[in-house]
């Protein structure tokens, strides 16, 4: 099977290309589950998972999921199409096996999503390996068998992946069929070559660009952006790109030099990651306190988040990040979100990131990526930022 992978890569080198994948926004998970009277149950399960991870002290919690971005990926021959969460914070690809019939695998009604599962017997190119793995995430896990099959999301190639035979209960609320990890090999579970590394020989350039569209009401799903594999997206992103070298080839990890919001400011070098799989921005607890103080936010015990009155959305202070000597502004309309919570309340898309005392101390999630296109440059081990273009709010 390894010989097949090598031959496929050699053939692909002759036909280098650029590919574009539409990113679909699933809409707000909080809004959807609240309407289905399931958010309280979801919150209890999420908090239980967080407590278990903190007790073990084994990994940072990167689980602030609300508005997902998915891309269509086909697996097998003939191809079966799945909506996979685009995640630059992990490195494995997995789909749910058709034989998994738990409530989580089928998807709970509150997710308002018809889940698709992989029928291995319907694929003539499916190859099951004699190995099982378990992938652990901040808010859940999946177990199953390693396998190889034809995968297509930016051209076609052979890919090793997890055929998930069991998934965490909390994933049953989430409107996707699996996850496609776009980070580095070092954090791949099972020594699996990540999808991007298999794709590199086929691309014009060893990089990909993520552009996420902007919208005021994120409770509504729909077209959410574009992932360009093999090139910088010059249609949706400004031509001026500023780069910073990675500090670790694990996550897409780099350093910030400082942060400010309103009357609060600090200069301190800290490691951060760019993560399309995290819906909000996460930072140290003292930074969370500063954001709360400067925005006048109040904690909602009902939703487990901080909120402000929606009438203040346009007047809240910018979040300002200093990266490689340049300042990047995240305006209030990017991080104050109308999730249809009621009583005129809007969410503050910022959370206390519990890093466990190691690794990155910040996560720059979707609010940052909506404001600035992120160019993930594998070839030069760096990440670039270009101001995102948006037609309207």
Is 167 part of any domain?
yes
Among 63, 66, 67, 87, the active-site one is 87
CATH number of the domain where residue 331 is located: 2.40.70.10
Is 38 part of any domain?
yes
> Do 155 and 82 touch, CB atoms closer than 8 A?
no
Is 10 part of any domain?
no
SS3 call for 229: strand
> Do 89 and 277 touch, CB atoms closer than 8 A?
yes
Please check whether residues 111 and 241 belong to one and the same domain.
no
Alpha helices in 124-271 (DSSP H): 195-199
What Å distances lie between residue 84 and 69, 77, 79, 114, 269, CA to CA?
8, 18, 14, 13, 34
Specify whether 166 is catalytic.
Answer: no
Query: At which of 202, 220, 245 does a domain end?
Result: 202
Whole domain around residue 71: which residue ranges? 20-202
Is 325 part of any domain?
yes
Is 196 part of any domain?
yes
Query: At which of 180, 202, 224 does a domain end?
Result: 202
Please check whether residues 252 and 123 belong to one and the same domain.
no
Is 80 part of any domain?
yes
User: What pTM does this model have?
Assistant: 0.89
Give the position of tokens 């799945």.
82
Is 273 part of any domain?
yes
Specify whether 87 is catalytic.
Answer: yes
Please check whether residues 195 and 280 belong to one and the same domain.
no
Is 208 part of any domain?
no
> CA 45, CA 108: separation in Å to the nearest integer?
14
Please check whether residues 56 and 157 belong to one and the same domain.
yes
The pLDDT value recorded for residue 16 is 60
Instruction: Let me know if 43 is exposed, middle or buried by CB neighbors in 10 A (0-12, 13-18, 19+).
Output: middle
Among 97, 275, 338, 366, the active-site one is 275
Q: Give the helix/strand (H/E) hosting 243.
A: strand 242-245
> Do 215 and 393 touch, CB atoms closer than 8 A?
yes
pLDDT tens for the chain, residues 1 to 393: 444 444 444 444 445 699 999 998 887 777 767 766 666 676 666 666 555 544 544 444 344 456 778 999 999 999 999 999 999 999 999 999 999 999 999 998 766 788 999 999 999 999 999 999 999 887 788 999 999 999 999 888 999 999 999 998 888 888 899 999 999 999 999 999 999 999 999 999 999 999 998 764 554 456 689 999 999 999 999 999 999 999 999 999 999 999 999 999 999 999 999 999 888 899 999 999 999 999 999 999 888 889 999 999 999 999 999 999 999 999 999 999 888 888 999 999 998 887 665 678 899 999 999 999 999 999 999 999 999 998 755
Three-state secondary structure string covering the chain: CHHHHHHHHHHHHCCCECEEEEEEEEEEHHHHHHHCCCHHHHHHHHHHHHHHHHHHCCCCCCCCCCEEEEEEEEECCCCEEEEEEEECCCCCEEEEECCCCCHHHHCCHHHCCCCCCECHHHCCCCEEEEEEEEEECCCCEEEEEEEEEEEECCCEEEEEEEEEEEECHHHHHCCCCEEEECCCHHHCHHHCCCHHHHHHHHECCCEEEEEECCCCCCCCCEEEEEEEECCCCCCCECCCCEEEECCEECCEEEEEEEEEECCEEEEEEEEEEECCCCCCEEECHHHHHHHHHHHCCEEECCCCEEEEEHHHHHHCCCEEEEECCEEEEECHHHHEECCCCCCCEEEECEEECCCCCCCCCEEECHHHHHHEEEEEECCCCEEEEEEECCCCC
- Number of domains, the chain: 2
- 219-245: string of b/e by CB count within 10 Å (b at 16+)? bebeebbbbbbbbbbeebbeeebbebe
Please check whether residues 150 and 189 belong to one and the same domain.
yes
> CA 29, CA 352: separation in Å to the nearest integer?
19
> CA 348, CA 334: separation in Å to the nearest integer?
10
Which residues lie below 8 Å from residue 183, measured CB to CB, with a gap of 6+? Answer: 87, 88, 89, 90, 91, 194, 250, 251, 252
Please check whether residues 58 and 175 belong to one and the same domain.
yes
Please check whether residues 183 and 240 belong to one and the same domain.
no
Please check whether residues 307 and 196 belong to one and the same domain.
no
């Amino acid at each position: 099977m390894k010989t097949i992978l090598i031959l496929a890569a050699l053939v692909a080198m002759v036909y280098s290309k650029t590919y574009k994948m539409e990113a679909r926004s699933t809409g707000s998970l909080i809004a959807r589950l609240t309407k289905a009277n399931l958010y309280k149950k979801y919150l209890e399960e999420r908090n239980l998972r967080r407590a278990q991870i903190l007790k073990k002290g084994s990994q940072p919690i990167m689980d602030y999921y609300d508005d997902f971005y998915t891309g269509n990926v086909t697996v097998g021959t003939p191809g079966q199409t799945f909506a996979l969460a685009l995640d630059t914070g992990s490195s494995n690809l997995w789909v749910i096996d058709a034989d998994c019939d738990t409530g989580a695998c089928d998807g709970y009604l509150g997710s308002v999503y018809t889940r698709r599962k992989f029928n291995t017997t319907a694929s003539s190119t499916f190859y099951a390996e004699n190995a099982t793995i378990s992938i652990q995430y901040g808010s859940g896990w999946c177990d199953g068998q390693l396998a190889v099959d034809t995968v297509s999301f930016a051209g076609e190639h052979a890919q090793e992946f997890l055929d998930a035979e069991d998934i965490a209960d909390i994933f049953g609320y989430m409107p996707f069929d699996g996850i496609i990890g776009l980070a580095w090999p070092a954090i791949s579970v099972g020594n699996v070559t990540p999808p991007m590394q298999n794709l590199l020989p086929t691309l014009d350039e060893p990089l990909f660009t993520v552009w996420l569209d902007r919208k005021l009401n994120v409770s509504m799903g729909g077209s959410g952006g574009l992932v360009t594999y093999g090139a910088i997206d010059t249609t949706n992103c400004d031509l001026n790109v500023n780069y910073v070298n990675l500090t670790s080839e694990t996550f897409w990890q780099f350093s910030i030099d400082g942060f400010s919001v309103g009357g609060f400011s600090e200069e301190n070098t800290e490691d951060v990651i760019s993560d399309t799989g995290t819906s909000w921005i996460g930072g140290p607890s003292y930074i969370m306190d500063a954001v709360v103080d400067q925005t006048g936010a109040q904690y909602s015990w009902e939703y487990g988040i901080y909120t402000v009155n929606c009438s203040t959305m346009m007047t809240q202070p910018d979040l300002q990040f200093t990266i490689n000597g340049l300042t990047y502004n995240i305006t209030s309309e990017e991080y104050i979100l109308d999730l249809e919570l009621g009583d005129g309340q809007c969410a503050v898309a910022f959370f206390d990131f519990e890093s466990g005392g190691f690794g990155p101390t910040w996560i720059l999630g979707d609010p940052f990526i909506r404001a600035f296109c992120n160019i993930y440059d594998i070839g030069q081990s760096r990440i670039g930022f270009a101001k995102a273009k948006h037609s309207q709010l």
